[in-house]
A and B are shown apart, each in its own frame.
Chain A
Amino acid sequence: MDYFVLVIAAIFVNNIVLAQYLGNCPFVGTSKDSGVAIGMGLAVVFVGTMAAAITWCVQKFLLAPNDLGYLQTIAFILVIAALVQFVEMFLKKVIPPLYQSLGIFLPLITTNCAVLGIAIICQREEYSILETIIFSTASGAGFMLALVILASIRERLDLTRVPVSLKGTPLALILAGLMSLAFFAFKGMAS
Chain B
Amino acid sequence: MSRLWKEFSKGLWKDLPPFKLVLGLCPVLAVTKTAYNGLGMGLAVIFVLTMSNLLVSLLRKLIPAKVRIACFIVVAASLVVCVELLMQAYAYPLYLQLGIFVPLIVVNCIILGRAEAFASKNPVYLAVADGLGMGIGFTASLTLLGSIRELFGYGTWFGMQVMGDWFEPFTFMVEAPGAFVCLGLILAGMNALTNWQRKSKGLEAVTGPVHDCKTCGMCATKPGA
Q: Mark A residues whose CB is within 8 Å of B.
A: 18-26, 28-30, 32, 70-74, 76-78, 81, 104, 107-108, 110-113, 116-117, 120-121, 124, 163-174, 176-178, 180-181, 184
Contact = CB atoms under 8 A, between A and B. Distances in A.
Nearest to B23: A25
Given A19-B176, A32-B212, A166-B188, A25 B181 contact: no
A38 to B, nearest CB: 15
A164 B199 CA distance: 13
B153 to A, nearest CB: 14
Contact of A111 (B172, B177, B179, B218): B218
A113 B25 CA distance: 10
Contact of A112 (B22, B107, B172, B205): B107
23 contacts: A19-B176, A22-B26, A22-B104, A74-B81, A78-B70, A78-B73, A81-B69, A81-B73, A111-B112, A111-B221, A112-B107, A113-B104, A116-B104, A120-B104, A163-B188, A164-B191, A164-B207, A165-B207, A167-B208, A168-B211, A170-B187, A177-B180, A178-B177
Interface string B194-225: 01000000000111111111001011011100
Given A70-B85, A73-B80, A168 B207 contact: yes
B159 interface: no
Contacts of A181: 172, 177
A73 B77 contact: yes
How many chain B residues sit at the interface, stated as a range, is 35 or more
Contacts of A169: 22, 184, 187, 208-211
Given A28-B25, A116-B106, A180-B176, A108 B221 contact: yes
A73 B176 contact: no
Contacts of A78: 70, 73-74, 77
B223 A165 contact: no
Given A25-B23, A29-B212, A165 B192 contact: yes
B144 interface: no
A163 B207 CA distance: 9
B109 interface: yes
A111 B72 CA distance: 12
